Amino acid sequence: MGTDIKIDNELDVKGFVCPRPMVMTMNILKKMESGQTLKLIANDSSTKHSIPALCERAGYKLIEETDEGGEVTFIIQK
């Protein structure tokens, strides 16, 4: 992750399976201000597809996605 990215909120959904991680992500993003960033950490393989799709549908910017040993981290800007 770039050092110039300010993280406003962090959500750890490891251990939850779809659709729960996506629902939890949508709920926190709804409460955030435009321009704020969310760091999302997940280990459910379906999030690799559902979170980028959510960002595209809702108009959020997916700044970064990393997968390290099955743990996926997303940086999302509202």
Kindly report the CATH number assigned to the domain that includes residue 43.
3.30.110.40
Domain around 39: 10-77
CA distance linking residue 71 with residue 45, whole number of Å:
9
Residue 2 resides in a domain: no
Q: What pTM value is reported for the model?
A: 0.91
Show Cβ contacts of residue 31 under 8 Å, excluding neighbours closer than 6 positions.
none
Residue 41 lies in a domain: yes
Summarize pLDDT for 28-73 with one digit per residue, the tens.
999 999 999 999 999 999 999 999 999 999 999 999 999 999 899 9
Domain count, the chain: 1
Does residue 1 surpass a pLDDT of 80? no
Calculate the CA dihedral of residues 1, 39, 58, 30 and round it to 10 degrees.
-150
Query: Does a structural domain hold residue 5?
Result: no
Residues classed as catalytic = 18
